[in-house]
């Protein structure tokens, strides 16, 4: 026990002893005095007794109220930033404690309301003298266990947060008696005072507003809610002028979708909308209406501070400028409006607190200049705490007079607001002044940009294409780096390939279109019509990274965004990742090693194994030697005819998200005509009849997509089956089967005719070569070394599913989930590794002709151990280093289509459409 703990315990013991003695002495005195008090009271008149009782009651009541009010007193303000500015900022003393991850909950301090925060304040704040970098390292090591083995570079989405911040908030809210601020009890009044104090502090510290009476701060659920509130409440008629009677809504083309979405509400009010670029921003200067723009582009990090000032200076009378500051504000950057001239100030600023501190979510703000407030008179809903008076019998409503009260529907997020106050304290005390924090993060960003820009292939070509305006200096960007990777020939590596590898390397970045359609059309150069076409083909914002790369263009990119909790090691890890998997050191570009077949040259193999996958993304059923199976144009009979469907949204579940699906072991019983489903390691079993359509829902149910194509599966209605699958996967799900005939077809460019599919991704059949599997295993064995770099605890799957076995992992044929595996007929497999890359036709048993549709692109699913459901990322990492095609895609195996019309006429009728293990295979 520490000296501090011992002294505290001793003090507590002494205090308890003194309290007990006081109570004993008081009791003895009262016993002695009772006869005298009784005699005194007996000599008083009735009126005198009543007067004495009133006096005693008032005295006790005053003391009680005094003790109660002490619990709600705001602590004396602490200076939030003494280094950057000369004024003090209202702050409440924070109670923080550094808690090591190994400590148990029982070691936490008591949060009794009567216990002051000063004791915890001294112990909880992770104080560290020195540079910001040293303070960050200290906080990460003491209070960021979630970053122990992760490289988190997605702060623009949501920055991580230290455990001490959460503990500080927990101590704060649990030590106060909080109530609904709309009430009038002492606790309600104190709660309202806390909200007001935080409101003032945010305006003062985050925005540098000295005259807070000239501004209003409305607490909302976040930036999107703030923008929606403006669009719903703005009185467009009040913005019209004699020179321009038609109000408009204009927004910068590189705006977040939250801003773009405001145009629909404007259209409902009869107001037209249009976009503008930085170059033609002067065109909106004389327009009446609302102009919206981001202070920082969430996709590229480009800052529009000068553009904002220019628009504010030249705006028309009566028009408003709305600023989206969600991407700009962070724990290292604030918007100090006091540094701007009066004519450069925006009228409204929307922002989110979780973008700044990481915690809590669900709380944001809308900052409104007092002069702009009258233009938000179009709000129509008033109820609950937003009304001063209302009648039920008639349409008579009187909204609250205070601006904030009229716009904060319902009870505000009291705990979130108090958390904001604690977050300001925590970051100031843990990391120091705002300016020092800003310089630290800017330095990391500069290093990342410089390092990525300097990466070159062996032939001198760039490895990284960065999406930044060349004529803008580095200080014109925030800590966001948006890029795509290039092959040695200059082709763009599909962003989804980069994202997959980053995920299994425990590097967290953002891949896609970043909720910014203007960025896609301007920086990526994708025409709007093509985006519409990609959507029609099933490539929306979330899965655009694997869209076709026609003309060297791609409609998605990769974004790395930094924050205060990042370090130089994070930068080095990302750069090392890019160099390891995407940099070609050779002077001449090289393709994936393959054996190119000479024209007319044939190779003989044996059909070593056949696997049927009745349920998509679940375990396969490997056929026994000599067991015949039927062929169909859409694959092996019963292959991928069922899916596991999410009952909440109709989506198809996949091993990429649910690796435990490998433990679902379906088996086709052709004799009983049943699909028998078991769960590995359990006694669970369920049989589904092929011929009983009554097992499925009558309606088509919810639409889902497989590789962009819309399908309408019918859900199985058995509660027992649903329970069995849901308990395993942790999501409400069931078995589903296609409702009608086959409507999907392969989209592979080599499929000259329509190749039918049910639930298969790209082709009816997939073939691999055992010699190729062995070669991958050799590469994995050669690359194996002590340590855990290739055994990251998080690869995009649940960390509980990962293998902790430090031994090298061998390639497993089952991981590639092929229908056919061929092996060398003469037993000399070494020379046949990757021979499948150069094939165009495969003939099985001398009668079944298959055309080769192309290479199979690989994803995270090859990392799932099909026996245990554990994730072992070495497989995909090895393929990424050795098996890439000219477009940068990771490949292994070949897609096939059955061509029954080309079968030799001599085939026996009873065996015409059957295959079995051991058949001869001729490949050419």
Catalytic residue check, 515: yes
CA angle (755, 667, 669) in 5-degree steps: 95
- What's the number of CA atoms in the CB half-sphere (13 Å) around residue 501? 26
CA 209 to the chain's CA centroid: 33
- By the 8 A CB rule, do 664 and 657 touch? no
- 8 Å CB contact between 157 and 510: yes
- How many angstroms separate the Cα of 113 from the Cα of each of 173, 432, 755? 10, 29, 71
**CB 294 within 8 Å of CB 256:** yes
Bridge partners of residue 733, in order along the sequence:
646
Number of neighbouring beta carbons within 10 Å of residue 218? 24
Q: Is 446 helix (H, G, I), strand (E, B) or coil?
A: helix
Q: How far apart are CA 510 and CA 119, in angstroms?
A: 41
Between CA 819 and CA 817 the distance in angstroms is: 7
Give me the DSSP letters along 39-83.
Answer: HHHHTS-HHHHHHHHHHHHHHHHHHHHHHHHHTTPPPPP--S-TT
| List of long-range contacts for 568-573, beta carbons under 8 Å, 24+ apart | 568/133, 568/444, 568/447, 570/151, 570/152, 570/153, 570/444, 571/444, 571/447, 571/448, 571/451, 572/451, 573/151, 573/507
Is the Cβ–Cβ distance between 176 and 113 less than 8 Å? yes
For residue 163, give the H/E element and its range.
Answer: helix 163-174
- Consecutive H or E run containing 572: helix 568-582
The residues that bridge with 891 in the sheet, in sequence order, are 857
Looking from the CA of 170 toward its CB, the CA atoms found within 13 Å total: 14
* DSSP output for 84-103: T-SS---------B---TTS
Q: How far is CA 677 from CA 207, 569, 693, 720, in A?
A: 60, 47, 18, 12
Element (H or E) spanning 267, and its range? Answer: helix 262-268
What angle, 0 to 180 degrees and rounded to 10, lies between the N-to-C axes of helices 568-582 and 495-504? 120
Q: What does the buried/exposed string (b/e) look like for 615-637 if buried means 16 or more CB atoms within 10 Å of the residue's CB? A: bbbbbbbebeeeeebebbebbbb
- Helix or strand holding residue 314 (H, E): helix 305-314
Distances in whole angstroms, Cα of residue 564 to Cα of each of 130, 260, 514: 15, 29, 21
Beta strands in 371-436 (DSSP E): 387-390, 397-399
Report d(CA 725, CA 658) in Å as an integer: 12
291 forms bridges with which residues in the sheet?
A: 250, 321
Q: What is the DSSP letter of 409?
A: -
Phi, psi dihedral angles at 485 (to 5 degrees): -100, 150
With residue 769 as reference, give the H or E element that holds it: strand 765-769
- Catalytic residue, candidates 31, 151, 515, 863: 515
- Radius of gyration over every alpha carbon of the chain, rounded to an integer in angstroms: 34
Q: Find the distance separating the first CA and the last CA of the chain, reported in whole Å.
A: 78
Q: Does the N-terminal peptide bond of residue 360 adopt cis geometry, omega within 30 degrees of 0?
A: yes
Given a contact cutoff of 8 angstroms between Cβ atoms, the answer to whether 424 and 91 are in contact is yes
Residues with catalytic function: 515
């Amino acid at each position: 026990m520490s000296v501090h703990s011992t002294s505290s315990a001793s003090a507590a013991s002494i205090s308890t002893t003194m309290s007990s003695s006081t109570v004993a002495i008081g009791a003895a005195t009262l016993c002695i005095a009772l006869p005298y008090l009784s005699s005194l009271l007996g000599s008083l008149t009735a009126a005198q007794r009543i007067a004495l009782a009133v006096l005693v009651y008032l005295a006790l009541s005053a003391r009680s109220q005094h003790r109660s009010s002490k619990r709600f007193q705001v602590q004396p303000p602490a200076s939030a930033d003494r280094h950057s500015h000369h004024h003090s900022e209202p702050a409440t003393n924070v109670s923080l404690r550094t808690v090591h991850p190994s400590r148990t909950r029982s070691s936490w301090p008591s949060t009794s309301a009567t216990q002051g925060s000063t004791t915890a304040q001294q112990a909880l704040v992770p104080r560290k003298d020195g540079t910001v970098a040293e303070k960050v390292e200290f906080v990460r090591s003491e209070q960021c266990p979630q970053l122990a083995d992760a490289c988190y570079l997605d702060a623009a989405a949501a920055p991580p947060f230290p455990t001490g911040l959460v503990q500080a908030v927990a101590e704060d809210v649990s030590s106060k008696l909080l109530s609904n601020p709309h009430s009038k009890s002492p606790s309600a009044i104190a709660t309202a005072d806390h909200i007001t104090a935080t409101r003032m502090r945010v305006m003062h510290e985050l925005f540098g507003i000295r005259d807070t009476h000239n501004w209003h701060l409305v607490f909302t659920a976040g930036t999107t809610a703030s923008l929606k509130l403006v669009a719903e409440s703005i009185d467009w008629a009040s913005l019209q002028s004699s020179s321009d009677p038609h109000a408009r809504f204009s927004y910068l083309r590189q705006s977040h979708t939250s801003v773009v979405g405001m145009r629909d509400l404007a259209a409902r009010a009869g107001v037209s909308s249009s976009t503008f670029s930085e170059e033609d921003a002067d065109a909106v200067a004389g327009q009446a209406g609302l102009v919206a723009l981001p202070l920082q582009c969430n996709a590229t990090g480009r800052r529009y501070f000068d553009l904002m000032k220019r628009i504010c200076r030249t705006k028309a009378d009566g028009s408003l400028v709305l600023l989206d500051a969600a991407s700009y504000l962070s724990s290292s950057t604030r918007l100090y409006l006091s540094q701007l001239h009066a004519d450069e100030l925006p009228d409204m600023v929307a922002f989110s607190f979780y973008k700044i501190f990481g915690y809590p979510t669900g709380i944001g703000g809308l900052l409104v200049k007092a002069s702009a407030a009258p233009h938000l008179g179009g709000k129509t809903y008033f109820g609950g705490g937003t009304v001063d008076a209302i009648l039920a019998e008639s349409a008579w409503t009187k909204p609250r007079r205070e601006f904030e009260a009229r716009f904060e529907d319902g009870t505000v997020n009291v705990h979130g607001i108090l958390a904001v106050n604690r977050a300001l304290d925590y970051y100031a005390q843990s990391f120091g002044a705002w300016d020092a924090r800003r310089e630290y993060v800017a330095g990391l960003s500069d290093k990342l940009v410089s390092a990525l820009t300097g990466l070159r292939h062996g032939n001198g070509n760039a490895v990284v294409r960065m999406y930044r305006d060349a004529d803008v200096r580095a200080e014109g960007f925030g800590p966001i780096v948006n890029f795509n990777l290039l092959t040695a020939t200059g082709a763009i590596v599909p962003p989804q390939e980069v994202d997959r590898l980053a995920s299994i390397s425990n590097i967290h970045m953002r891949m896609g279109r970043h909720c910014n359609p203007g960025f896609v059309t301007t920086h990526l150069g994708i025409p709007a019509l093509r985006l519409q076409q990609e959507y029609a083909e099933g490539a929306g914002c979330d899965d655009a990274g694997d869209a076709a790369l026609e003309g060297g263009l791609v409609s998605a990119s990769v974004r790395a965004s930094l924050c205060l909790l990042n370090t130089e090691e994070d930068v080095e890890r990302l750069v090392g990742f890019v160099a390891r998997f995407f940099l070609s050191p050779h002077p001449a570009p090289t393709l994936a090693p393959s054996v190119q077949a000479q024209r007319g040259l044939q190779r003989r193999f044996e059909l070593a194994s056949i696997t049927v996958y009745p349920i998509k993304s679940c375990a396969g059923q490997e056929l026994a030697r000599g067991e015949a199976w039927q062929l169909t144009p859409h694959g092996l009979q019963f292959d991928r005819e069922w899916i596991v469907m999410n009952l909440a949204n109709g989506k198809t579940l996949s091993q990429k998200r649910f690796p435990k699906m490998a433990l679902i072991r379906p088996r086709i019983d052709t004799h009983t005509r049943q699909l028998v489903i078991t769960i590995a390691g359990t006694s669970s079993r369920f049989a589904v009849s092929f011929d009983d359509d009554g097992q499925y829902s009558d309606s088509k149910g919810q639409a889902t997509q497989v590789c962009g194509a819309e399908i309408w599966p019918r859900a199985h209605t058995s509660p027992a089956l649903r329970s069995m699958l849901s308990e395993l996967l942790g999501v409400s799900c069931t078995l589903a089967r296609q409702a009608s005939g086959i409507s999907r077809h392969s989209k592979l460019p080599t499929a000259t005719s329509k190749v039918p599919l049910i639930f298969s991704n790209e082709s009816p059949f997939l073939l691999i070569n055992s010699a190729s599997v062995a070669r991958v295993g050799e590469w994995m064995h050669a690359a194996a070394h002590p340590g855990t770099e290739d055994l990251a605890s998080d690869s995009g799957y649940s960390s509980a599913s990962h293998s902790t076995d430090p031994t090298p992992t061998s390639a497993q044929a089952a991981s590639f989930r092929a229908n056919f595996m061929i092996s060398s007929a003469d037993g000399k497999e070494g020379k046949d590794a990757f021979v499948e890359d150069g094939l165009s036709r495969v003939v099985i048993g001398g009668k079944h002709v298959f055309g080769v549709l192309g290479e199979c692109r690989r994803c995270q699913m090859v990392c799932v151990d099909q026996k245990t459901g554990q994730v072992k990322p070495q497989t995909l990492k090895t393929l990424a280093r050795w098996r890439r095609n000219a477009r940068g895609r990771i490949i292994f195996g070949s897609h096939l289509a059955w061509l029954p019309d080309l079968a030799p006429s001599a085939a026996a009728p009873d065996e015409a459409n059957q295959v079995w293990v051991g058949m001869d295979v001729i490949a050419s």
